[in-house]
Amino acid sequence: MTSPSRTLYRKLVDSHTVAVLDEQHVLLFCDLHLMNEYTSPQAFAGLHEKGRGVPMPGRNVAVVSHIIPTHPGLLRVITDPPSALQASNLARNCERHHIPLFDTNDRLQGIEHVVAPEHGMIRPGMVVICGDSHTTTYGALGALGFGIGTSEVEHVLATQTLVYRLAQDMRVRVDGELPAGTTAKDLILSIIGQIGAQGARGFVVEFCGSAINALSVEARFTLCNMAVEAGARGALIAPDARAIDYVLKRATDIDAELRPAALEQWAALHSDADAVFAVEYRFDATQVAPQVTWGTSPDQVIAINGQVPHPERQADGPQRRSTEQALRYTGLSAGAPLEGVPVQHVFIGSCTNGRIEDLRAVAAVVRGRQVAQGVRAMVVPGSGAVKRQAEAEGIAALLTAAGFEWRNPGCSMCLAMNDDVLAPGQRCASTTNRNFEGRQGRGAITHLMSPAMAAAAAVTGTITDVRRLEVLHG
């Protein structure tokens, strides 16, 4: 009797199911648990109150990233007392339980979702969890990654398992070639704009198609990272030769003896040909233009040559009211173009777009140009490794000569949890993943876009179609 056809998502869940609890829940084994400084303190406190330890410390890794200052300098000091306490508590808890930690001044420190894959911690077929919603990033390597809450962090630390509610399957096929000047960031913003911020709620999304196959691994990280902005509980791309090569170059423990077994296992990590998905979408990559958000949700997005929507042309209801509120907050006018809107700040970084390929794209736009007068432009590498590579390639020197601030790695201005905060009313061209009200500072206005588009805004002083600029690669 042949086994029923399964999606990649179900294969990953089935291979990690310790016990079936009921029709909707399983006890799931977690290969790797990533922690940060702000979602772990209560979890450790709960462990200690119950007198429990961490039985598998090697399957847990901690990173200080959200609260860390990114000011240039060799030594970093967290001066905010509550933040400093979070960092010191994490260090103390990791030492007590023998959990590896990328601490404040670790030369490899960075954003957890950049650090983990670049050091070979993420492999195809794994289940990876973290107290951060953008753990979906790891689907780019064929790993099931998703965010969890603080109470679940405690359960994972104590048992290395999680009571997991099953998701539904969604397939998003994207065929065709992305036009010049567009990127994976533009593609995922376009998809979110079409299906909505709740369009994938309750689903794990599998991306496939010729356009997905053509993406670099770092571009796939961007795609999977932002799938959560459509409400997805996970995002997956079946691992191909490009993804496997990325992993093998970094996972040095997979030696010649272990490699054949790993390759055999990874070869089965794909949806069966006749697997059934609850929902399927198809998109044409050739129709994607550079995207910019106009509102206060990632799905409030238009092509750079589009116009801000008219609320009165929408049916009366939540969407119309949301549009009206977003326009009040951003100060934009219905029917107006986004191109030409002045910006006071440009932020390039985050777990969405803080990798070396992103910084190379920025350098290509900036080369031969200067940051526009009146604009503060910051570049924050996603990790210490990315920072050193960009410095070795001359990217850092090019950007600083052009007037950019070259910072230390961390989450930085992606969210206002550190001292990189926008002032009220400042408008920022940002490569981050969320443009919620106050996300980068109380009263600040965020426009999400690709690194190349953010670079174009930096050198022109306005939201600008990067396709209008000559891009010079080194």
pLDDT, position 315: 84
Cα 81 to its chain centre, rounded Å, is: 28
168-240+271-287 in CATH: which number? 3.40.1060.10
Task: Spell out, as residue ranges, where the chain has pLDDT lower than 50.
Answer: 1
Question: How many CA atoms lie within 13 Å of 338's alpha carbon, on the beta-carbon side?
Answer: 31
Residue 356: what residue type?
A: I
Rounded to whole angstroms, what are the CA distances from 393 to 334, 359, 369? 43, 10, 18
Q: Which fold has domain 291-468?
A: Aconitase; domain 3 (3.30.499)
- Select 8-166's CATH number: 3.40.640.10, 3.30.499.10, 3.90.550.10, 3.40.50.920: 3.30.499.10
Residue range(s) of every CATH 3.40.1060.10 domain in the chain: 168-240+271-287
pLDDT tens-digit profile of 1-58?
Answer: 456 899 999 999 999 999 999 999 999 999 999 999 888 888 999 999 999 999 999 9
Residue 454 three-state SS: helix
In this structure, are residues 170 and 200 in contact, taking their beta carbons and an 8 Å threshold?
Answer: yes
- At a CB cut-off of 8 Å and minimum separation 6, what does 401 contact? none
In this structure, are residues 127 and 115 in contact, taking their beta carbons and an 8 Å threshold?
Answer: no
pLDDT tens-digit profile of 421-444?
Answer: 999 999 999 999 999 999 999 999
Most distant CA pair in the chain, distance: 71
Residue 269 three-state SS: coil
Q: Provide the 10 A C-beta neighbour count for residue 110.
A: 31
In the DSSP assignment, the letter for residue 430 is E
Taking the C-alpha atoms of residue 270 and residue 12, their distance in angstroms, rounded to an integer, is 10
Burial of 460 (0-12, 13-18, 19+ CB in 10 A): buried
Structure token digits, residue 445: 């206005």
pLDDT, position 474: 66
Residue range(s) of every CATH 3.30.499.10 domain in the chain: 8-166, 291-468
Taking the C-alpha atoms of residue 212 and residue 159, their distance in angstroms, rounded to an integer, is 36
Please state the pTM of the whole predicted model: 0.96
pLDDT, position 1: 45
